[in-house]
Structure 1
């Protein structure tokens, strides 16, 4: 599977890829990379009123329980209420390389990088978290 934009664009991909709660709204979708121990994975980061969700652009091949292989997109879903903090970072040697670190209340951290519009993605994420904490 490769994510393709078409009729409905990002909203359609978001609804097809993730479970959407009643009243949930997509606030921003951004192309970026998720940092993993195996290296960065290209994909789309979705920021909604309820969650931060990432889906890889291309499916990854993983081994299945029966010894074969399956192709599946790499997905991460972080409910907004599980986010402890969001932090901006940048590479000291290359200041244009900016990162968003999301730390969850159960001490997992996720690093996103390579945004086309880093500032807008970061501000939307902060707004979503602040709005969630007020409810």
Structure 2
């Protein structure tokens, strides 16, 4: 996604194009990572803003449109900071170098992000953003 970010005009522009932005909302940080899904990890970028966390996949997924044709759409997740019940950092007990950030929403949905270059740093930014709205 690095080359695409440069082509698109930077991380801030990718964030603004991919997600609806509220007036006064600011992008705090963005991190390359993977979103864990039942189909396997999806590489992409996690955006942390003053209002939300958002994930956008690096590659588009092929889906069948209502008319039967194939369409390509990025995999996206958007969680308003105020809807986050809990965010914890954990690691694989068998492989301690595999660290995860688990986010649980108020309606008990869980999202697992992994593969950060520096998981502790990413988690600190996330904690700061969450505590600023609570």
Give yes or no for TM over 0.5: yes
Q: CA RMSD of the aligned region, Å?
A: 1.6
Deviation for aligned residue 1:23:
0.8
Unmatched runs of 5 consecutive residues or more in structure 1: none
SS across alignment from 1:126:
helix
Shift of 1:121: 0.8
User: 1: CA distance between counterparts of 2:105 and 2:22?
Assistant: 20
1:56-106, CA deviations, whole angstroms, 9 ceiling, x for partnerless residues? 001000111122211000000000000000011100111010000000000
Which runs of structure 1 show a deviation greater than 2 angstroms over 4 or more consecutive aligned residues? none
The alignment partner of 1:115 has SS state of coil
Is the 1:100–1:113 Cα contact (8 Å) retained in structure 2?
Answer: yes
Give the TM-score normalised by the residue count of structure 1. Answer: 0.94
Q: Tell me, yes or no, if structure 1 residue 91 matches structure 2 residue 83.
A: no
Q: Which runs of 5+ in 2 are unaligned?
A: none
> What does residue 121 of structure 1 align with?
122
Secondary structure of 1:103's counterpart equals strand
Normalised TM-score (structure 2):
0.95
Q: Which residue of 2 aligns with 1:101?
A: 102
Give the equivalent residue in structure 2 for 1:63.
64
Does the Cα contact within 8 Å between 1:52 and 1:80 map onto a contact in 2?
A: yes
For residues 32-47 of structure 1, the aligned pairs below 5 Å read 32-47=33-48
User: Structure 1 CA distance, aligned partners of 2:113 and 2:39?
Assistant: 14
Partner Cα distance (1:87, 1:2) in 2: 27
Cα deviation, residue 2, structure 1: 9.2
